[in-house]
Amino acid sequence: MRTPHFAAASVLILLSAGCGADTTADTAAATGDYPVTVSNCGVDVTFTAEPKRVVMLKSAAVPFLHDLGVMDRVTARAGAYPDAYYDAATIAELKAVPLLTDKTDTSGHLQISKEIVISQQPDLVLGEVDNLSRDTLSAVDIPLLEEPALCEQGVPDPSFDDIYEQMQSYGKVFDRGAEATAAVATLKERMAGIKAVAPGRTAAVLYPTVGGGVTYAYGKKSMAHPQLATAGFTDVFGDVDERVFEVTMEELLGRNPDVLILLHSDGDPRAVEQAITTLPGAKDLTAVKNGDVMAQLFNFTEPPSPLSIDGLENIVQRFGTGA
């Protein structure tokens, strides 16, 4: 069975993950002096100069690039970029970037030809899609970077530290070391101000299929796990050594979380909630009985990015005393 887009890629544009990345810098160039090499999905990617023509095929990098002040390096983008993720300044930056296409297939995967991307003459592509792999781009000397959590092997033990490390890595690639350090300090300050909800409650993060179909749950190899823990919840799927997996209503009833966080890519969040609450047996779930069900956009949880901190704040505000 084909892996769902949210299991292997940024759900904002419903892409498949492909190779992915572990984007930690391998050079000693702490200030971002070139050449800079980063290890990306097990592949060394070397930059001899700051990228100035970036094509973005996934939205996951947007908050990083915005915080570093390099969104003006993005010369083209593809996919969907919901305004709900961004502040006014970021929205303005995105609207200034030409949109190549937001067309997807029936499975929600981005449809874009390699010719269109290559014609943009990028010196960096962010995000890998089915028909435009790292190997395809490297054959024409175009480097590709992917978010660590979206690589094939994923991240073994996701944490908020992954956000800070990724910010520093992008800082090296774009020669924005000082900006990266300042951005990390701001993110850590935000994290320090978040107060967890009352302990003792359990929760689960799900991705339901609107209109009927499979329901997916997130385990301890997803960013959902540290997000729930930091919010003060016990993750009912914290014993599952996977990132995302199919789950039945019988399994949900057996674990019976007090709170449900439902991820979705776009559309009406009420429809997302109904995709769970109208399932046979759902009325017996504690979270459903108590109305403790919250839908939020996928990138507010995964992959690890500053948006994951926004998502954490949303959860705490909804179920606790606020951040």
Q: Dihedrals φ, ψ of 17, to 5°?
A: -75, -40
- 176 and 261 co-located in one domain: no
Residue 119 belongs to a domain: yes
Share of the chain above pLDDT 70, in %: 87
**Tell me, what's the pLDDT at 150?**
85
For residues 184 and 48, membership in a common domain is answered with yes
Torsion sign across C-alpha atoms 186, 221, 131, 22 = positive
Q: 209 and 180: one domain?
A: no
Q: Report yes or no on 52 lying in a domain.
A: yes
Confidence of residue 108 (pLDDT cuts 50, 70, 90): low
Percent of the chain having pLDDT more than 90?
Answer: 71
> Is 162 found in the same domain as 20?
yes
**213 in the same domain as 135:** no
Residues 6 or more apart whose CB falls under 8 angstroms from that of 285 comprise 252, 253, 256, 257, 260
pLDDT at residue 8 greater than cutoff 90: no
| pLDDT per residue as tens digits for the range 290-310 | 999 999 999 999 999 999 999
Domain shared by 146 and 280, yes or no: no
Q: How many domains does the chain have?
A: 2
- Contact between 101 and 116 under an 8 Å Cβ cutoff? The reply is yes
pLDDT of the residue at 225:
97
Report pLDDT digits (tens) over 187-199. Answer: 999 999 999 987 8
| 270 in a structural domain | yes
Residue 310, domain member (yes or no): yes
Considering 191, 218, 236, which residue would you say is the last residue of a domain? 191
Whole-number average pLDDT of the chain: 87
pLDDT at 275 over 90: yes
Last residue of a domain, one of 191, 212, 241: 191
In a domain, 196, yes or no: no
pLDDT (mean) for 78-95: 95
In a domain, 116, yes or no: yes
For 59-79, how does the pLDDT look when each residue is reduced to its tens digit (9 = 90+)? 999 999 999 999 999 999 998
Residue ending a domain, among 162, 191, 220, is: 191
Whether the pLDDT of residue 24 is over 80: the answer is: no
Same domain, 184 and 209: no
**Whole domain around residue 148: which residue ranges?**
5-191
Return the DSSP state at 215: E
Residues 187 and 285 occupy one common structural domain? no
145 and 207: one domain?
no
Please name which of 27, 30, 5, 28 lies closest in space to residue 16, comparing C-alpha atoms.
Answer: 5
Residue 222 lies in a domain: yes
pLDDT digits (tens, 9 = 90+) for 204-252: 999 998 888 899 999 999 999 999 999 999 999 999 999 999 999 999 9
In a domain? residue 197: no
- The pair of structure tokens assigned to 141 is 């000397």
Same domain, 214 and 181: no
Whether residues 165 and 227 share a domain: the answer is no
**CB contact set of 74 (below 8 Å; sequence gap of 6+):** 54, 55, 56, 65, 93, 97
Give the CATH number of the domain where residue 135 resides: 3.40.50.1980
**Tokens representing residue 238 in the block:** 């914290």
What pTM was estimated for this model as a whole?
A: 0.86
Q: Return the pLDDT at 105.
A: 61
Clarify whether residues 306 and 212 are in a common domain: yes
